[in-house]
Structure 1
């Protein structure tokens, strides 16, 4: 008996199970599990593209947005396409409206980046080759260094030669080919030297944006919606800036695309212009860049009233430059917070469900076989399987959400079925001589594992289809189910077979 026990403990299948079990427990102790938004809490944002797109374009949108949000330094992000126009963004561990609004701003920043000088676009986001880490100074000024392409640098060198102090403008998502209807004070500011850096003789901001982006600007003087619509003929949209909002409804009734921008409380004309145009700058051109020699290493600088605002502004510029342009504009149409307290309730319920499932497995198997030598190993193997799955999840930092936990339970249920197949084969053999009994056990185990591998293959095939072709919560369910099935057929099921043979006297 001692020899049989020693042989069992030295069996490579048992040692493999012990190795993975100990490794999983150590991983869980050193690297805690991470949870998805429905457990840890966070914010879910629903974004809509300006128009329906094909699957290839949507894939680019999802990939670019994922990289952009990752560059923002956020963790536990999922970006999912829902059809051909909706993108669902979930970010765990976000609890304040300020954090959510920062994410919203990044999502809605299409990232079409322009570099303009004297009304000429000399580079776009495609010309950005490298983006350095942004820097925040003690006076709340900030800078984002980056490198532009050789062609953009050469074009800029020709434009800037002999023009020190002239304004250099950077734009993110300017309203290209549009009509801006603005208050008279805003119009005067745009048509003055206020945005000319240190060169009052340079073209005004109004002249620069008209030449570069075909943006027309009119001062609001009680024009009717019809008069504005006539002025906007040939334009993509009308941007109403701090003018009566009822114009928006009237223009939309005329099938005119309208964007309305309200003035925030205390917002100056200068700040309003910067917001509407997506303007960064103007930056005064240094003498070193006016000698006609191309320089690829440049930087965007700015300042803010406090360090938090400086961090947010620099971070936005950095992430948009870093991740590139989105192929289509996104607008956030819905936002919902999920309470961490509610998530804790889900976590507790999931734990109770798992414990309940193990108890149910034990009782059902016991009442079926009336044998603790079978019920205890079956339930224990299911527990070991769950621990190993959780260990893998902790190791790769897989975010456990409720569908993922459901997948673990489904995998354990499949495992119990397979253990029952093994047990039935062991109990169904004839008892004769030791040699013939051993031969019979091998044949029966072969039949059992043929059924097990066939079942596992069909399950993995079905779940792989969900993992590849579906989005959202189905991916978490499919991943953990596949992981559980693989752990079962490769680790826990072979070990259970050896333990069952030992306990039932078939070894």
Structure 2
């Protein structure tokens, strides 16, 4: 008996299950689960393109909106394309109509892209005629080629002549004609050579944005809302950066347009400035572009410490350049709020439903076999699958919504069916000599796992179709179902087979 127990404990399938189980519990302890809008609450907006577009353009729309909403400081965003004309935007933790209308305005107002040099705007998104596929080299340097209009090229050539190394800035939706109220440390950074690329003698970022966009930057020195409003006369908006937030309310009560950007732990002053201005760059002007000769085909280059970072940086610039010349307009055709209190009820109900399902499985399996040695392992294996699925979801920051939870339940249901197949095969053999019995067990396990893998293959194939072609709410259902099935056939089902053989005396 001890020998059989020791053999079971050191079985690689059991060890694999334990490792994944411990790893999932540790992950859940360190990284809390993130939930979708239908559980955490928020607003869902349905936007429609003014005409049908192809899949590449639709993906560009999604990427562009993601960048723009992130730039505005909107968090927990899910943007999904549905078909060739509908974009579903879900933003968690939005509870007021004012916040939702701000997001709606961002979606409906197409982004404006600017190219600036030495305080002069030499091109906008309309001047970007073509954007090539970005390239990543073996040394992790990258390049994004693009073509600008002849007029922009000629203007840029005059501005850039004899200025190699000077900063070239690109902006997406900068706060044009605005007053920025900032702490002294941010003011000093904007007025330093930090954003001057390889030309310390070039104008500072503060000088460049003042000249190009009529942005006035002042240091916050405990001014009242009335004093700030007086400074903002003739401006379109006020941007408050890491100053007392009550100023925002007071200024908005004066019917002024205000954008508030708080300081965040771990976010540097440089990152706050880049976010507030919608700045990409600065990029150092190459020798070839400082000759004074107009060149329409240009490229932005950079380097990164590793390939993943290089891919991310190049992809960001590619998206910004493409979004500046986005050929389609979006209109919000539907908006729906989801209460976080309702979401909490969903979460509680899902937990109760899961526990009730496990208890039901335990009772049904017991009454079917009249054997606790079978019922408890089946229910326990289902619980282990849930823990591993949730651990994986926490690890990759997958937002669990109601369809995702339904997918977990569907995967667990499939898992119970497969465990019943394994158990029935083990119980179907007849007693015989040890060698014959062992051969019989292997043969029956082979039949059982043939059925299991065939069932899993058909489930994965069906869910893959939903995952690829029917994004949106079905995507979460398909992903968690596939994940649950894979965890089942690769980890928990083989482990259950070993435990069942041990408990039924078949090993």
TM score, norm. by length of structure 2: 0.65
Residues 153 and 302 of structure 1: CA distance in aligned 2, closer, same or farther (over 3 Å)? farther
Contact 1:72–1:319 (8 Å) recurs in 2: no
Distance 1:67 1:172, change over 3 A: closer
Give yes or no for the alignment of 1:105 onto 2:115. no
Residue of structure 2 equivalent to 1:45? 45
Residue-pair matches, total: 365
* Aligned pair partner of 2:278 in 303, 315, 318: 318
Residue 340 of structure 2 is matched in structure 1 by: 340
Query: Cα deviation per residue 1:286-321 (whole Å; 9 max; x = unaligned)?
Result: xxxxxxxx9998544624546153546985751899
Q: Do residues 389 (structure 1) and 389 (structure 2) align?
A: yes
Describe the shift of the 1:317–1:345 C-alpha distance in structure 2 as closer, same or farther (beyond 3 A): same
1:122 Cα offset (Å): 3.6
* C-alpha displacement of 1:382: 0.3
1:215-254 alignment runs, 5 A limit = none
Does structure 2 conserve the Cα–Cα contact (< 8 Å) formed by 1:149 and 1:296?
Answer: no
In the alignment, what sits opposite 1:328?
A: 328
**How many angstroms does 1:479 deviate by?**
0.2
Verify: 1:280 aligned to 2:176, yes or no: yes
For residues 408 and 27 of structure 1, do their structure 2 counterparts lie closer, same or farther at Cα, with a shift above 3 Å needed? Answer: same
Q: Report the counterpart of residue 439 of structure 2 in structure 1.
A: 439
Correspondence 1:111-126 to 2 at 5 A: 111-113=111-113, 122-125=122-125
Partner of 2:503: 503
Alpha carbons 1:8, 1:14 under 8 Å: kept: yes
Name the residue aligned to 2:485.
485
Question: How far did 1:335 drift?
Answer: 2.4
1:78 maps to which residue?
Answer: 78
Deviates further, 444-453 or 295-304: 295-304
Uncovered stretches (5+) of structure 1, i.e. residues with no partner: 130-147, 162-169, 174-277, 284-293
What are the residue-to-residue correspondences of 1:457-472 with 2, within 5 Å? 457-472=457-472
The whole-number CA distance in structure 2 between the counterparts of 1:37 and 1:410 is 21
| Structure 1 segments (4+ residues) deviating >6 Å | 126-129, 148-151, 170-173, 294-297, 319-322
Answering whether residue 68 of structure 2 is matched by residue 63 of structure 1, we say no
Q: Which moved more, 1:346-355 or 1:93-102?
A: 93-102
CA deviation string 1:29-79 (max 9, x = no partner): 110000000000011112222233344422321232223323444333221
Q: Is the 8 A contact 2:456 2:485 kept in 1?
A: yes
SS in structure 2 opposite 1:91? strand
Superposed CA offset, 1:327-367 (max 9, x none): 31112233222111000000011111111111111111111
Between the aligned partners of 1:172 and 1:448, the Cα distance in structure 2 is 58
Q: Deviations over 1:5-51 (max 9, x none)?
A: 11111111101101111110111011000000000001111222223
Q: Once the 2 structures are TM-superposed, how far is the Cα of residue 472 of structure 1 from its aligned partner?
A: 0.8
Partner of 1:422: 422
CA distance in 1, matches of 2:75, 2:2: 52
Question: By how many angstroms is 1:390 displaced?
Answer: 0.4
Secondary structure of the residue aligned to 1:502 is: helix
Match of 2:405 in 1: 405
Query: What is the alpha-carbon distance in structure 2 between the residues aligned to residue 109 and residue 103 of structure 1?
Result: 10
**RMSD of aligned C-alpha atoms?**
3.6
The 8 Å contact of residues 453 and 489 in structure 1, kept in 2 or not, is answered as yes
Q: Given the superposition, is the C-alpha separation of residues 462 and 316 from structure 1 closer, same or farther in structure 2, using an over 3 Å criterion?
A: farther
**Could you say which residue in structure 2 is the equivalent of 1:453?**
453
Q: Is the 8 A contact 2:172 2:279 kept in 1?
A: no
Larger Rg: 1
- C-alpha contact (below 8 Å) 1:171/1:280 kept by paired residues: no
Task: Measure the CA separation in 1 of the matches of 2:397 and 2:112.
Answer: 33
- In structure 2, the CA distance between the partners of 1:432 and 1:40, relative to structure 1 (3 Å rule), is same
Matched residue, 1:165:
none
2:231 corresponds to 1:302 = no
